[in-house]
Structures are given as structure tokens and as C-alpha cells.
Chains A and B, each alone.
Chain A
């Protein structure tokens, strides 16, 4: 079966750095997405990785290792507004998005 694992909840301090991990086992791989979702709102796109390595975009970076079935989202200089759920999703061989359950990130002052 297809499976995506990420921690349920994480807590970090304002100004710090946090890494949210995602491991996956899917039938085929055509890329991995990270989305941010604030409570009561729809998800918003953060990043897309299809090749191994690190993609940096401002305070957010995303890393992919296809051989290990592993990705992480790195958030630097955390701000209170970064409190949200972060969803990992993999595009499988049929180009369907397989969703992780999401990681709720709590930022403390």
C-alpha cells in the first residue's frame, strides 16, 4: 500500500529553526509537495521537489532523497504566523497526490 509518514505535532520557539520530516512509500514517484495549511483555510503551496537535493526559497527549504524515500521541510527564523499544519504529499505513478496526515507546528514566543 501507499504510505506517507510525518510527525503529528511539533513545537518550536519563535526565531528558531525547525525541521519537519516526511517519509514515503508509494507506487511510483513523480515529485513531492509541501503545503502549509492554517486552521480553517485551504492548503497553500510551499515547495515541489522531484530531484534529489535541497531547494531553498526564502526562510523555507525543502530537501529530497529519492533513494531513501525521505524529505524534510526546514523553516528558519520562525515567526508566530508560521503556526500551521504542514502537509507532505507525493505524486505517484498515476499522477495522483497521496497525502500525509500533516504536522501541526506550534510556535511559542
Chain B
């Protein structure tokens, strides 16, 4: 099956710093990648949708200047949390849509803790 990797799997950073999370589709080309956030005991919340070579589309309430998304190639998207605060601590999950079908393949997630 299709594999999506995420790096890092967990990160601890200090308040005010920026953190970059990478999402890669390893064995397929993904024209579209999705970034989700999940707080404990809550469902997935879509943050943004990114299409290769174009600007990301952010969901309502998600600050695009705070959560910078770059989808530079068909296999790589990055999410940068800028000026992180403790309330940004969460589980961030990316998924990639295979261009041959519409199934979404999830990465293993990145647990971010901001101290």
C-alpha cells in the first residue's frame, strides 16, 4: 500500500520558536496533501489543503500566517508553525491523496509540545 512519512514524529520546542514538519509520499505522487490537527479525545480537524505548485487553502479559523504550508513537489509538503505557543501543542497529521484515486493515505503524525 501507499506510504506517507512524517518527520519529526515528535518535537518539543520553546514558546516563540518555529517548527517545521515534513510530509512525504514515499511511493506515489500526491497532487493534494492535507494537514490536520487533533487535540486529545477530539476528532480530526482539517487545517488546510495544499495542491502542488499552488497556495494552500486554509479552513476557516486557521491563521495562514501562523501555519505556513509549502507543497513544492508531488511528494513533499511542509507545515511550519511560526512563533509557537503552548496552545499550539497538538497532534499534527498529514495525508496525501494519490493522483490515481481519491483515497487519502495518512502519515504517522507529529506530536508537538510547546513549553
Contact = CB atoms under 8 A, between A and B. Distances in A.
Do A and B pair up? The answer is: yes
Interface of A: 30-31, 33, 35, 40-45, 48, 87, 91, 95-97, 99-102
Interface string B42-80: 111010010000000000000000000000000000000
Interface stretch (B14-22, B81-89, B106-114): B106-114
A44 B106 contact: yes
A95 B106 CA distance: 16
Contacts of A31: 102
A100 B43 contact: yes
A42 B111 CA distance: 11
A42 B108 CA distance: 5
Say which size band chain B's interface belongs to: 10 to 19
B91 interface: yes
Contacts, number: 38
A97 B104 CA distance: 9
B35 interface: no
Nearest to B57: A96
B44 A45 contact: no
Given A41-B108, A42-B107, A42-B108, A99 B102 contact: no
B91 A40 contact: yes
B43 A42 contact: no
A45 B102 contact: no
Given A40-B91, A42-B93, A99 B44 contact: yes
Given A96-B49, A97-B46, 7 more contacts: A41-B108, A45-B1, A87-B43, A100-B43, A101-B42, A101-B43, A102-B43
B43 to A, nearest CB: 4
A89 B95 CA distance: 14
A72 to B, nearest CB: 19
